[in-house]
Amino acid sequence: MHLVNNYKNIWPYLLLLTGFAVYCQTENYTQFWNEYAFVKDINEKWSIEADVGITTSGIPEHNSPFYGIIQFYGRGWGHYYPSERWKLSFFYAFFYNTNVPELLQEKSPEHRLAVQLTYLMTKTRLRTNLKARLEDRHLENDTGYFEAVMRLRFQAKGTYPLNGPIIKPGILYTFLSDEVMFKTRGSVSGNTFFDRNRFTVGFGYSFVSEFQVEVSYVNELLPRPDKTSSYDAFQINVVFTDLFSDLFAKKYKREKTAIDK
């Protein structure tokens, strides 16, 4: 009963985010996304994070998710926690895009800066987060010039522990999210204002406080004037916390809240 009542808090946001329909030719791709995150708590207000990831994809003629590598990246984060309900994050990332289907050329290295704000909307067993991110993307075009593209992203996410009241080591949890993205026009990223809708559903498990794994299914829908691209992705995210604790003289363990999920 608590699950049903708490779900009422998030379903309007998910309905709003998924309310897009496109009627045109569709190209379908299957992909595999995997990301490895290394998190270090600095104090009660700050943590830092480093991510590395690789994306493989099929093509319409050979639609195996492992047909070829289309992207790999590295990203560095700084997270600030002004209160239990709010998190402010910044990152710089470099993406090497070898053949990303939605980009209008085969190779387009990208430098990306972003600021992100996360709000913990509910603190019941069903935890719901709202997230907004502004990205400043610089993609290299065919002439070697890095073209600036701004992208705005909004996400609603719900997380629910299955075999316990809260998420902690030894608890299996499930999560559901939907995200919409809007962008400025560019010769590499395309001339549409609405970029994509990303729907994610999956499960996570924290083996110990320092090691967490999430496995999920992702569907991305990218409407374009000539065709719509649809991505079905299998995603694995692995998070290590304080793996390199010896880099700091004092090991600090920040008390986690639901906003960390």
- The CA distance from 68 to 25, in Å, is 24
Please write the tens of the pLDDT for every residue from 62-121: 889 999 999 999 999 999 999 989 999 999 999 999 989 888 888 999 999 999 999 999
Q: N- to C-terminal Cα distance for the chain?
A: 23
Of residues 8 and 92, which shows the higher confidence score?
Answer: 92
Q: Which pTM value belongs to this model? A: 0.85
Q: Torsion angle, CA of 82/178/148/89, rounded to 10 degrees?
A: 10
Fold of the domain built from segment(s) 2-260? Porin (2.40.160)
pLDDT band per the 50, 70, 90 thresholds, residue 144: confident
Please write the tens of the pLDDT for every residue from 13-72: 444 444 444 445 788 999 999 999 999 999 889 999 999 999 999 987 888 999 999 999
Mean of pLDDT over the chain: 87
